[in-house]
Amino acid sequence: MKEYRTLTADGMAEEEIKKSRFICHLKRVASEEEARDFINAIKKEHYRATHNCSAFILGENMEIKRSSDDGEPSGTAGVPMLTVLENNQLTNVAAVVTRYFGGVKLGAGGLIRAYAGAVAHAVSEIGIVEVKEQQGIAITMNYSQYQEFANWRTTHALEEYDTEFLADIRTMIFTDKKETQDIIDSLTEFYHGKIQVEKADFRIVEIPVH
């Protein structure tokens, strides 16, 4: 699979700009149908709102992009929202910004800043993850060797998973495929070749982007 970036989770954030309420809902989506269902659900929930503008991006290569101004002046809402998603390199994400008009007109520039800002604020609040496929490495060692394992892991910023304490200790780590051999070589050198190390299955991981 190709690596891509998306939201940490679904969520929302709200801002008030010149007495208008701007509520941004963000959702991870896997298809255009799911994105449109989400947009319609927000529209139904906020049917009294002045506008429910939207944008979404789909595909590991960000190949599907759609946006809607929902009655705002052309180009002042949907495209600025989409641009924020693009600038953050996000995909499989849908955004809806609901506006409750507060009586003060913002002008074209003000609307662009408000809608883009609402999405940027929500993305910042929720967070971003990088979705990638990593290679598993299965390690078998004795108990005295395991006492040193945490120090080695800390050096390489790796976590351990599925650890079993039996006659020997069996545990798993995961790393980017291109780094797998270097990690195995490091382990072998650290333990002078006296532990058992073998490649295992791949898995999908989500790594926070700071």
CATH number at residue 173: 3.30.70.240
Q: How far, in Å, are 82, 170, 173 from residue 137 at the CA level? A: 39, 11, 5
Please tell me the total count of domains within the chain. 2
Tokens 């149908």 correspond to 33
The CA-to-CA distance between both ends of the chain, in Å, stands at: 23
In this structure, are 27 and 80 located in the same domain? yes
| Degrees, nearest 5: CA angle 106-111-112 | 145
In this structure, are 119 and 152 located in the same domain? no
The pLDDT assigned to 205 comes to 86
Judge whether 39 and 114 are in contact, CB under 8 Å.
Answer: no
pTM of the predicted model as reported, rounded to 2 decimal places: 0.82
The pLDDT assigned to 153 comes to 93
Last residue of one domain, picked from the residues 76, 97, 126? 126
In this structure, are 158 and 116 located in the same domain? no
Our CA dihedral for 154, 159, 161, 164, rounded to 10 degrees, sits at 10
The pLDDT assigned to 190 comes to 95
In this structure, are 14 and 74 located in the same domain? yes
If you ran DSSP here, which 8-state letter would residue 179 be given?
G
In this structure, are 115 and 191 located in the same domain? no
In this structure, are 105 and 139 located in the same domain? no
The pLDDT assigned to 115 comes to 98
159-183: b or e for each residue (b if 16 or more CB lie within 10 Å)? eeeeeeeeeebebbbbbeeeebeeb
Last residue of one domain, picked from the residues 126, 160, 182? 126
Range of the domain at 20: 4-126
Which CATH number characterizes residue 27's domain?
A: 3.30.230.30
In this structure, are 42 and 108 located in the same domain? yes
Mean pLDDT split into 10-residue runs, the chain, 210 residues = 92 96 98 98 98 97 97 97 98 98 95 98 97 95 95 92 95 93 95 95 88
In this structure, are 67 and 110 located in the same domain? yes
- Tell how strand 20-28 and strand 11-17 pair up: antiparallel
> At CB < 8 A and 24+ separation, what contacts does 109-113 make?
110/17, 110/18, 111/72, 111/73, 111/76, 111/77, 112/75, 112/76, 112/77, 112/80, 113/80
In this structure, are 136 and 51 located in the same domain? no
The pLDDT assigned to 207 comes to 86
Assigned token pair, 2: 């190709």
Last residue of one domain, picked from the residues 96, 126, 156? 126
